[in-house]
Amino acid sequence: MTTSVLFKLFVFTALLAMVSGAEYHQEKPEATPMDAAHRANRRECKVQLALFTVSLCGDVCDSESAVDLVKMCCPSKCTAEQVVKTCCPVN
């Protein structure tokens, strides 16, 4: 991967973390041990989703598509077709 693609991947992953992290803290202000495990699972999901998106689309999603993708694909697995439809630019 080139440096620009790696940088875009890093920014995309950071954006996913910020968006879903803010959303998570609004829903549950009290932390429990299960919350820590849930956050770790979501963090892993976002990284895997970012890598999957780059492998399918060749680039990262825009911010609105990324939020939709996290909400759709982290609770349950998405297919390649769902990721392409939600995130990849139309050629």
With CA atoms as reference, report the closest residue to 48 among 12, 86, 24: 12
> Pick the residue with more confidence: 24 or 5?
5
* Residues composing the chain: 91
Q: Which domain holds residue 9?
A: 3-28+36-87
Distance between CA atoms of residues 35 and 75, nearest Å: 15
Residue 78 has pLDDT above 80, yes or no: yes
Would you say residue 12 has pLDDT above 80? no
* Tokens linked to 23: 């959303």
Q: What's this model's pTM, rounded to 2 decimal places?
A: 0.57
Place of tokens 């990324």: 66
Number of domains in the chain: 1
* Residue with token string 């991947």: 9
3-state secondary structure of 67: helix
Per-residue pLDDT band at 21 (split at 50, 70, 90): low
